[in-house]
Structures are given as C-alpha cells and as structure tokens.
C-alpha cells in the first residue's frame, strides 16, 4: 500500500470516529452506527498493516524517504489506537454498554482469525500448485529426455539392421554368382571333355 492510499485510509478512519462521536453526542442509538464502526476498523487495520504490505514498494527509496514513511506509519497507527481506546471508553462509560464493545471486539477478532486462516489456505494452495507444476515440469523433462534416448536407440537400431540387411543381401548375391560361375565352369569342362572324346573317336 502506497503512502497516498495509507493517508486516505487514515482520513477515512478519522472521519468515521468523528461521525460516531457526533451521533452519540446527539443521542442516536449506537446500534445504528455499525457502518461507521466497520469503516473505522477496516481503515485502521489497513494503516496498522501498511508497513508489512509496503516492503516490496520500499525498494529503491532513499533512507530519508523510508524514515519519513516509517514516522507517518507510526504516527497514524498510534493515533488510531488512541481513537480506538476513546471509542471503547465512550461505549463503556458514556453509553454504559460495555457488552456491546466486548462482543464487537470478540467478533472482530474471530473474523480476523478466519481471514488469516483463509489467506494461509490460499497461500498453501498456491505453494502446492507451484510444487505440482514443478513436478509436472520435471516429469515432462524426464519424459522428453527418455523419448530422445529411445529415438536415438531406434534410429541406431534401424541403422544397424539396415547395415546387416545390406550385408546379407550382398552375401546372397555373391553366393548366387559363385554358384553360377561354378555351374558355367562345370558345363564348359563337360563340353570340352565331350569334344575331346568325340575327337579321339574320329581319329581312330
């Protein structure tokens, strides 16, 4: 929350206090001031927690700027705590209905605890989502890496199989050629032998 927004929240809280005091002074029923009390506590909480929520926004500011901002936070927060005590005393002693204040503070405390629990649940859900996404990312990387390894093995296997198949086909062709050469040689030898036999018979 920036200083301007904090200033607006402080002003809103002060206005709510003024409206409550004026209404009580005029004798109005306090039960009709729920909206003003809600506005005061909401604005006061915004100012009280401003220093925590403004940590990121403080980056880049000078020491003097941070010092002035811290002083404004402290002064605003202190004034609103004084206003809260004044409202309590007014309800306790001027109106004479302390139970209203006690019930209001108890309900406010319960709602704040519920809000904190919800915020923690949201943060935990976000953290679990981040962790799940990180796990899915790692699984995707492992899957992609495994796929690449399998693809490389497949390509390598295809290459080896292709080489072996080429060698087998080449050997079959060489064997068939050798058979043909041997058959032709045998046929030629047989033919020459017959010619020699016929020549020998003719000479006789």
| Nearest residue to 9 via CA among 41, 46, 62, 34 | 46
pLDDT (mean) for 72-97:
88
Instruction: Decide if pLDDT at 69 tops 70.
Output: yes
* CA–CA dist 162, 156 (Å, integer): 10
Alpha-carbon Rg for the chain in angstroms = 48
pLDDT of residue 82: 93
pLDDT (mean) for 72-79:
85
Quote the tokens at residue 129. Answer: 């989502």
What pLDDT, in 10s, does the model give residues 163-175?
888 888 888 888 8
In a domain, 99, yes or no: yes
pLDDT of residue 55: 52
pLDDT of residue 177: 84
CB contact at 8 A, 1 and 53: yes
In a domain, 147, yes or no: no
Token pair 């295809």 is at which residue?
158
Could you tell me the residue range of the domain that residue 110 belongs to? 3-139
In a domain, 92, yes or no: yes
Instruction: Decide if pLDDT at 19 tops 70.
Output: yes
CB contact at 8 A, 50 and 6: yes
In a domain, 38, yes or no: yes
In a domain, 123, yes or no: yes
pLDDT of residue 85: 92
In a domain, 19, yes or no: yes
In a domain, 170, yes or no: no
pLDDT of residue 5: 77
Q: How many domains does the chain have?
A: 1
Instruction: Decide if pLDDT at 197 tops 90.
Output: no
Instruction: Decide if pLDDT at 181 tops 60.
Output: yes
* Least confident segment among 1-5, 107-111, 122-126, 182-186: 1-5
Token pair 């402080």 is at which residue?
10
Quote the tokens at residue 81. Answer: 């705590």
* CA–CA dist 188, 152 (Å, integer): 53
In a domain, 159, yes or no: no
């Amino acid at each position: 929350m920036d200083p301007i927004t904090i200033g607006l929240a402080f002003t809103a809280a002060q206005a709510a206090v003024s409206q409550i005091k004026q209404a009580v002074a005029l004798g109005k029923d306090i039960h009709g001031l729920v909206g003003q009390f809600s506005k005061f506590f909401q604005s006061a909480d915004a100012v009280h927690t401003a220093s925590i929520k403004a940590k990121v926004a403080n980056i880049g500011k000078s020491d003097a700027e941070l010092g002035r901002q811290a002083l404004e936070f402290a002064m605003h927060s202190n004034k609103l705590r004084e206003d809260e005590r004044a409202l309590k005393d007014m309800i306790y002693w001027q109106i004479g209905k302390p139970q209203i204040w006690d019930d209001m503070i108890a309900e406010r405390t319960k709602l704040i605890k519920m809000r904190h629990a919800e915020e923690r649940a949201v943060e935990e859900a976000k953290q679990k989502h981040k962790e799940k996404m990180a796990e899915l990312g790692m699984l995707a990387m492992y899957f992609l890496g495994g796929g690449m390894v399998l693809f490389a093995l497949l390509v390598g296997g295809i290459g080896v199989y292709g080489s072996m198949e080429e060698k087998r086909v080449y050997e079959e062709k060489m064997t068939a050629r050798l058979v043909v050469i041997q058959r032709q040689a045998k046929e030629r030898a047989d033919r020459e032998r017959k010619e020699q036999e016929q020549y020998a018979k003719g000479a006789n």
